[in-house]
Amino acid sequence: MISVEEAIVGRQSTRAFLSDRQVTPDLILKILATAGRAPSGSNIQPWKVWVITGEAKEKLSKALLERHYSGDPGNREYNYYPVEWREPYIGRRRACGWGLYSTIGIEKGDKTRMLEQHGKNYEFFGAPVGLFFTLDRDMELGSWIDIGMFIQSVRLAARGHGLETCPQAAFCNYHDTVTEHLGVPADQQLVCGMALGYPDPDAVVNRFRTEREDPASFTTFLE
């Protein structure tokens, strides 16, 4: 079992999984039970989780890829990113994007390979398990904070069992297709998806790591 610090520092967005190595339902439930200890305001625990595997996952991937390659941009229900970018955030985003593309040999302007790489989101990067997180629509901003802490807890708990994850906002582009396939009630909103599985140790893409700011740059001490 790895330490808490190792789980946090070693965490990354894994983009290649061993598709033939399955994750049992019991292990998934164990991870979710651990993550369920995440804090929430007044202990309301607003999160809901949808687990998809096997044939159901394949059908969803097919439907999403059809929309992706048709040029359909979809329509998100909420803005994940700023409407207008500015520094230092745009610079960090570009560094992340081009760092990933450089790792896997995608050159600037190669829109075909960029499209293909983005499309791997809808195949869960080869992971055998897909997770989706939803909230009741009448929840307020505090519940989004709660579910964020829950999602991070899922990721860290998974690492304790030798699994890795990749949270994916890309599914929100086609939230209507996702919720239809999952049978999500209309009074719930899709927050994001997540790939879950055993990482492919030989995949070049999994060598990519993002940098972090020195805490001195975002921390203020008062005495």
Mind listing the pLDDT tens digit for each residue in 67-109? Answer: 999 999 999 999 999 999 999 999 999 999 999 999 999 999 9
Residue 53, in any domain of the structure = yes
Residue 98, in any domain of the structure = no
C-alpha to C-alpha distance for 68 and 83, rounded to whole angstroms = 22
Residue 42, in any domain of the structure = yes
- Give residue 150's domain range: 4-79+122-209
- Spatial strand order of the sheet with 48-53 comes to 48-53, 129-136, 188-197, 164-168
* Cα–Cα nearest to 68, from 126, 104, 100, 115: 115
User: Is it the case that residue 173 has pLDDT exceeding 80?
Assistant: yes
Total count of domains within the chain: 1
C-alpha to C-alpha distance for 88 and 84, rounded to whole angstroms = 12
CATH code of the domain covering residue 156:
3.40.109.10
Residue 221, in any domain of the structure = no
Q: What is the mean pLDDT of residues 122-142?
A: 98
Residue 113, in any domain of the structure = no
Residue 94, in any domain of the structure = no
Q: What is the mean pLDDT of residues 114-142?
A: 98
Percent share of the chain, pLDDT over 90: 99
Residue 100, in any domain of the structure = no
pLDDT at position 1 is 77
